[in-house]
Amino acid sequence: MTVLDYVYAATFTMLGVGVLFVLYRLVRGPSVLDRIVCLNTISVLVVSAIVVEAAVRGDTAYVGLMVTVALLGFVGTLTAARFAERRAHDRG
């Protein structure tokens, strides 16, 4: 194994641990906005994992997937935040 193999393994491990921490906060989060931020963070971590996988394989075919996941995460976060804002505004 080369040094880069260890770096890739460490990177995937850290991304996995990050996802576990974010999932814990997603379940435990005290408010809806905390959960929205957690979902956005998970989408960023998924895109990061795809980037690392593309680097491991040396393949550029994952670029479309990365852009799609990033855009879906961004639009989903905006939509959920807007819904939460309207809901809070309607309550009082």
- One pLDDT digit (tens) per residue for the chain, 92 residues: 899 999 999 999 999 999 999 999 999 988 888 888 998 999 999 999 999 999 899 888 888 989 999 999 899 989 988 888 888 778 86
Give the separation between CA 6 and CA 45, rounded to whole angstroms: 19
In whole angstroms, give the CA distance from residue 84 to residue 50.
30
Give the whole-angstrom CA distance, residue 68 versus residue 76: 12
d(CA 85, CA 80): 9
